[in-house]
């Protein structure tokens, strides 16, 4: 495959290295400093675009690819209020758009475990729920997209919860799920789901040891997405 990298920070660089090690080629490495190179790029030579940029650049990057018929995979978080617009654009252009807050296979299994546990806890009295996430200090958005996905999985399955809130560890609203965000180097990403009662605590944790799992997951999706159409997610890829 010929892969266009939209965003060439730490994740983009790792994706590029792993993609080439798997026999793929890199069509371009686009950052805020050389975005004008897109104007002269031949979209017909690009098999897929992988977008890990910044929240303020993500929407325009994704639109650029969709409007040119290039399948695009995005892992940028912090812009999801505009995701419905992107999904409509994808369908209107008969394109393909794949989004995940986290491309790690392990994290996506964790998402399923999280939902299963939430269903069990919904039938259990006396527990309060909370999320804690820890990332490196260069991560700009808080809470993380992964924490938001986890929160949505809990809220969907616990009837007394109807929203999440960024918190310092105390729940100001009994119907809101608190998320505590910490930024500590060099943590690639830790997510803790905690249910607490007077009797005991129940916790499940996912800890990433490096970014490699995220990068490899994005490349595997890029290989899988060829020939697909529509708005897709990790559920489609993993077929849970």
Burial group, residue 33, by CB count within 10 angstroms (0-12, 13-18, 19+): exposed
What is the C-alpha separation between 72 and 225, in angstroms, rounded?
9
What residues are labeled active site?
A: 135, 139
- Strand residues in the chain grouped as ranges (E): 2-6, 25-30, 48-51, 72-74, 96-99, 128-135, 163-166, 176-183, 190-196, 201-207, 230-232
Distance CA(143)–CA(181), nearest Å, equals 6
Q: Look up tokens 């793929």; give the residue.
A: 24
φ/ψ of 74, rounded to 5, equals -120, 140
């Amino acid at each position: 495959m010929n892969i266009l990298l939209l965003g060439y920070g730490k994740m983009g660089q790792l994706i590029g290295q792993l993609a080439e090690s798997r026999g793929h080629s890199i069509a371009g490495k686009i950052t805020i400093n050389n975005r004008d190179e897109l104007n002269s790029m031949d979209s017909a030579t690009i098999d897929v675009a992988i977008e890990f940029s910044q929240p303020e650049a993500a929407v325009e990057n994704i639109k650029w690819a969709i409007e040119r018929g290039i399948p695009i995979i995005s892992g940028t978080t912090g812009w999801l209020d505009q995701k419905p617009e992107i999904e409509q654009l994808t369908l209107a252009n008969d394109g393909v758009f794949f989004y995940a807050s986290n491309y790690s296979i392990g994290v996506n299994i964790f998402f399923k475990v999280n939902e299963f546990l939430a269903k069990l806890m919904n039938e259990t009295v006396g527990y309060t729920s909370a999320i804690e996430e820890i990332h490196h200090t260069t991560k700009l958005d808080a809470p993380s997209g992964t924490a938001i996905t986890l929160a949505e999985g809990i809220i969907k399955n616990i009837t007394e919860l109807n929203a999440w809130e960024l918190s310092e560890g105390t729940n100001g609203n009994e119907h809101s799920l608190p998320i505590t965000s910490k930024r500590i180097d060099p943590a690639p990403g830790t997510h803790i789901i905690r249910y607490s009662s007077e009797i005991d605590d129940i916790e499940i944790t996912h800890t990433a040891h490096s970014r490699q799992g995220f990068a490899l997951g994005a490349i595997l999706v890029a290989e899988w997405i060829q020939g697909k159409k529509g708005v897709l997610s990790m559920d489609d890829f993993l077929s849970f």
